[in-house]
Every structure is written in structure tokens, then in C-alpha cells.
Chain A
Amino acid sequence: MLKELLKKEHLIMNMQARQKDEALEELVKVLKFPPDKERLLLETLKKRESIGSTGIGKGIAIPHARSVVLDKVYLVVGRSKEGVDFDALDGKPVHLFFMLAAPPQDPGTQYLIALGKIAALARKLVKNQDYLNIDDPDEFIEYLVKLAEEE
């Protein structure tokens, strides 16, 4: 499932943002939505962060939300070598973002399944921070897919 959601055009290899709101804006912009749609999704993601950071610690954050304005599930992956101050659970900077956004009508609860798979992938990623050393986008996606599929 993650393989289908991981797209090169939705990957940021070197995020410019250093703060939480900037990071969310940078991630959402990748989707190239019309302005109203972009703003509403961004506000929902920011609201989600305001009630509890999705920075799960050890350099990873999984901002996520469902919104009426979306027509399908989107995954944007962003990497920041420098790190983003994201108010994470462990207070450490975030180097890897998985932003998951989905419509409310979600046949087969694809969104929650994807969220669960990303959580499992995150657990594997923290053991080995190779993701900081890969600079080729294709190789980066291949690395994530391979890791996600490993038992």
C-alpha cells in the first residue's frame, strides 16, 4: 500500500523549513492544490498539531488529517538534514516527515491502515538513520518501500 502512495513528485529531499508551521506549508504546497483547498487542508493539519504534536520522537513526524476538501489519500514525504523544530514528544528536531491526508469517506479505512503502516515503518527507520545519507530520490523511495515491506 505505501508503495502506491509514495510518489517522487510528492517527495522533498531537502526541506527548507525550520519551524513547525513552515514545514506543514512546505509539505502541503507539494500537492499543488487550488488556494482554497490548500489553505483548508493546511488549517486542518495545523489544528491537528495544536491538540497534540505528531512528532513521535527520534526525528520522525507523521502529520495527518482527513478533510472534506480531499478526493483521495495523499502521502507527502519530506526530509530535512538540518532538522525542524516540531515540538516532538522527545523535544528533538524532526528530520523525516510523512504527511498523510485523506478524504473523510474512506472505503476500507485505507487512511488508518496507511497510518498504521507508516507508524511501523517509522519504528524501523529510527533503528537505522540511513535515510539521511541517500540523495537520489528514486533510491530514497526504493529504500522506504524495501524497509516497509521487510517483516
Chain B
Amino acid sequence: MISGTLEILIKLQDLEHMLEELNSPEYLNILKESSGLSDEEAREKIQKSVESLKEDIKGLKETLPKDIVKKYDRLIKRYGRAVVPVVNETCLNCFSHIPTSFLTKSGELVECPNCGAFLYLPIPEKEKKS
């Protein structure tokens, strides 16, 4: 079970990645190629999505405690990401080893002891669907 704050942070981070993708030149090309929209139409469609997304990000931040938002913004500014998964006991922001004692805290709000990023820890096997 994921804590409320961590869940909001994950959603926020996912939206940031969406924003990054929408702003990439590759995405503009993909949209034009797949939909047949003109350059102008595709840019306009993307711009509308970007504006809507920025509003969503703002709204989500308002549901979080101020100190968490401050930390989140600081991490985004510094690393471009604030919530990162842990894979093979490694923080995927700074690639430092995450102590075993942290790995049992799946779903809790845990920060990387090295870089301070919020960690998304793997879900234990027993919680996985068959």
C-alpha cells in the first residue's frame, strides 16, 4: 500500500515526465507523422496540452505539505527529477546503493540517504498478482 504523500509525488513526477515529453521535438514529429496534422496544428494541440498539464501540476502541489513541495521543487531544479525508482538496490537518481533496511519500506515516503530523492521502492513479491 502506497502512502498518500508518496502517491501524490509519484503522480506529480509522472506529470513532469509528460510535460518533458510534450516539449520534446521528437514528440512534435511523432504527432505530425501519426495524425497527419500540420506543423501549426500539432504545435497548437501540444501547447493546449502543456497548459492543461501545468495547471494539473499546480493543483496537485497544492494538496501536499509545503515542506515537501519545497523539497520536490529543489530536487526537480537540481536533477530534473524528484521521485525515482530503486532497482537492484540502487537509487536511479544518483546510482548509490540503498541500504537493505530501506528496502522493506515499500510504499512509505523514503528519501535516498545520498541525494535526497524520494524513492519508489519495489513492491514485495507477496503483493504481486499471480
Which residues of A are interface residues toward B (Cβ below 8 A)?
32-37, 40, 43-44, 47-48, 50-52, 56-57, 62, 65-69, 71, 89, 103-105, 109, 112, 115-116, 118-120, 122-123
Of A40, A89, A105, A112, which contacts B27 at CB under 8 A?
A: A112
Of A33, A43, A56, A71, which contacts B35 at CB under 8 A?
A: A56
Hey, which chain B residues are within 8 Å of A123, CB to CB? Answer: 33-34
**B53 adjacent to A51 (CB under 8 Å):** yes
Interface of B, helix, strand, loop or mixed by DSSP: helix
Hey, which chain B residues are within 8 Å of A68, CB to CB? Answer: 10, 13-14, 83-85, 120
**Distance (whole angstroms) from the CB of A110 to the closest CB of chain B:** 12
Pick from B64-72, B97-105, B121-129 the stretch touching chain A.
Answer: B121-129
Of A36, A48, A118, which contacts B2 at CB under 8 A?
A: A36
Residue of B nearest to A37 (CB): B123
The 9 closest A-B pairs by CB, nearest first: A119-B34, A51-B49, A52-B49, A51-B52, A44-B14, A66-B17, A56-B35, A56-B34, A32-B129
Hey, which chain B residues are within 8 Å of A56, CB to CB? Answer: 34-35
- What separation, in Å, do the CA atoms of A105 and B24 have in the docked complex? 16
Which residues of B are interface residues toward A (Cβ below 8 A)?
1-2, 7, 10-11, 13-15, 17-18, 21, 24, 26-27, 29-30, 33-37, 45-46, 48-49, 52-53, 56, 81, 83-85, 87, 92, 107, 120, 122-123, 127-130
